[in-house]
Structure 1
Amino acid sequence: MHRRLAATALACTLAGLPAAAVADIRITDDAGREVVLPRPAQRIVSLAPHVTELLFAAGAAPRVVGVVSYSDFPDAARQLPKVGGYASVDLEAVVALRPDLVIAWKSGNRNTHLDRLTALGIPVFINEPRRLDDVAGSLRSLGRLAGTDEVAERAASAFAARRDALRNRYAERPKVRMLYQIWNQPLMTVNGEHLISDVIRLCGGDNVFAGLPQLAPTIGVEAVLAANPEVVVASGMGEARPEWLEQWKRWPALTANAANNLYFIPPELVQRHTPRILDGAQRLCEQLEEARAKRPPR
């Protein structure tokens, strides 16, 4: 009898507590802000294509109710309601979906949009992977927010295992000085803090513009010629090798041109902060290994 009364009293006490006292999810996002949810999110809006892909990989697909343009992987993401683009979010469309969580991209979304959503009382979690470790961490964080921890942990562990296998095979190979070219007009690359530079390091590469202060700096042709990379890897807009990669053939003295080390990787495989970045890493590692094989014997 006393045990039943004690159990009843405990149940009543817990029932009288605010939900946050028993069920809060507290997690720090990539902007250093604590995000608090009373329970796993049931209606999530993604404000970046890579966030959409991460949510699907973390097992949260049934919770995603809205995405931005170019959220095209996996195929099921294409069918979800659109709320504008990552740089031009339609706030009314977001609010109309009644989200209990918005996942944003620090480098891509406008602060004014995120501040407005926060002012409306919608929890906003900011994602910004800068290292390959952060991709696994993003999967775990999104899984926790959506209540899909087990699926997310499996995805994160598989990602880490594949990353480690590539690192063990390529990271200590002879260094290859390279340029990763995002675009041609303006001519853009990445610095050493960008996630793509972590992929370059994974493959034993050396980003010749790692020391620049901007995350995705604009540079000049003269700077490239002065740096004289052994390899140039371009992205572009889709699956096709960009025509502008051939511009480097105008400079015969450029080492990358002289050695025929002008390569291409589809941007969605290396410019999205998702598990597929290791598909891009695999290609880059193989390209750098091919460049090493072309070196004259010493």
Structure 2
Amino acid sequence: MIPATKQRLRAFAFATALGLAALGAQALEVSDERGVKVALPRPPQRIVTLLPSLTEGVCALGACSRIVGVDSYSNSPESVRGLPQLGGGLDPNVEAIVALRPDAVLLAKSSRVTQRLEALGLKVLVLEPKSHADVRRVLDKLDQVLGTGEAPAVWRTIDASVSAAAESVPARARGLKVYFEVNSVPYAAGESSFIGETLARLGAKNIVPAALGPFPKLNPEYVVRADPDLIMVGTRSAQGLEQRPGWGAIRAVREGRICRFDAAQSDILVRPGPRMDEAARLMARCLAEKGG
């Protein structure tokens, strides 16, 4: 009996060692956008996302089922709409987040709760795409965290679809001067924004140069002087656009070259994430239909 007992103990010890080795193989360390190294014992299975583009990124990589809570603006894909909503990304409900017992919380640089969540012992990763290159980089980083191995294929599909959208724009619409209004203040999408990058790939000329920043607040007279050929704007911001002082003289307004995007389309357009190809198709269709 004693030799048999020793044999069982050795077998148990060996199995335990294998289990620990497997856990160790899954452990990872990820540097987020603060340069902070976050150690995770294994790919997280309970994730809170507090930025729509991060929610969509996790889902695009096939890990939507791991999300247990989202910010109030995450509404795509459809499956996340039934999840607990934790407030805005800037000031979410910390108590509600803690109650969900997440393995990882994904949020933007601008969030004000990062340090508080970390002080409560939660693993926090700060990730925020702002350009085409950022979208690819964040997908790669999420892939590293999730362990899905899907990021290269997802990015190839996005990039190829944006290129296809560009090829669909007719020659007559290339080189048009475009004004993309983000909201009616007005804030615009400039050349250096991810929206501006998409417009450039589609062959359009943005009236807002990179020197003004990605999303500058403009004097309305600036738009009048720039006299865009085409205006892209969300329906939420477009009310009364034609009645703004001096805007009746803008070519796009005179000739009815205004694309008004509904709320769902606007969500796609203003989020730098895996639906960037859908945004490109929306803008390409606008250029084709209103471009002369």
TM-score normalised by length of structure 1: 0.80
Amino acid paired to 2:77: P
Whether 1:93 and 2:93 are equivalent positions in the alignment is no
- When residues 99 and 78 of structure 1 are mapped into structure 2, their CA distance, relative to the original with a 3 A threshold, is same
1:3 match: none
In structure 2, list runs of 5 or more residues that go unmatched.
1-12
Whether 1:178 and 2:178 are equivalent positions in the alignment is yes
CA root-mean-square deviation = 3.1
Whether 1:143 and 2:143 are equivalent positions in the alignment is yes
Whether 1:222 and 2:225 are equivalent positions in the alignment is no
Separation in 2 of the partners of 1:30 and 1:247? 43
Is this contact kept in 1: 2:74–2:80, CA < 8 A?
A: yes
1:254 Cα offset (Å): 1.1
1:45 Cα offset (Å): 0.4
1:126 match: 126
Separation in 1 of the partners of 2:122 and 2:66? 16
- When residues 160 and 31 of structure 1 are mapped into structure 2, their CA distance, relative to the original with a 3 A threshold, is farther
Separation in 2 of the partners of 1:146 and 1:23? 10
Whether 1:103 and 2:106 are equivalent positions in the alignment is yes
Is this contact kept in 2: 1:171–1:203, CA < 8 A?
A: no
- When residues 120 and 180 of structure 1 are mapped into structure 2, their CA distance, relative to the original with a 3 A threshold, is same
1:80 match: 83
TM-score normalised by length of structure 2: 0.81
User: Which stretch of the first structure deviates more once superposed, 134-143 or 215-224?
Assistant: 134-143
- When residues 18 and 220 of structure 1 are mapped into structure 2, their CA distance, relative to the original with a 3 A threshold, is same
- When residues 200 and 171 of structure 1 are mapped into structure 2, their CA distance, relative to the original with a 3 A threshold, is farther
1:56 match: 59
Is this contact kept in 2: 1:256–1:262, CA < 8 A?
A: yes
1:246 match: 242
% identical equivalent positions: 30
2:3 match: none
Is this contact kept in 2: 1:177–1:231, CA < 8 A?
A: yes
1:80 Cα offset (Å): 0.7
Q: Secondary structure at the match of 2:218?
A: coil
User: Which stretch of the first structure deviates more once superposed, 41-50 or 173-182?
Assistant: 173-182
Q: Residue deviations 1:30-75, cap 9 Å, x none?
A: 4444433221011110001222122111111121111111222122
Separation in 1 of the partners of 2:70 and 2:45? 15
Separation in 1 of the partners of 2:186 and 2:247? 16
1:26 Cα offset (Å): 3.1
Is this contact kept in 1: 2:166–2:284, CA < 8 A?
A: no
1:289 Cα offset (Å): 3.4
Q: Secondary structure at the match of 2:210?
A: coil
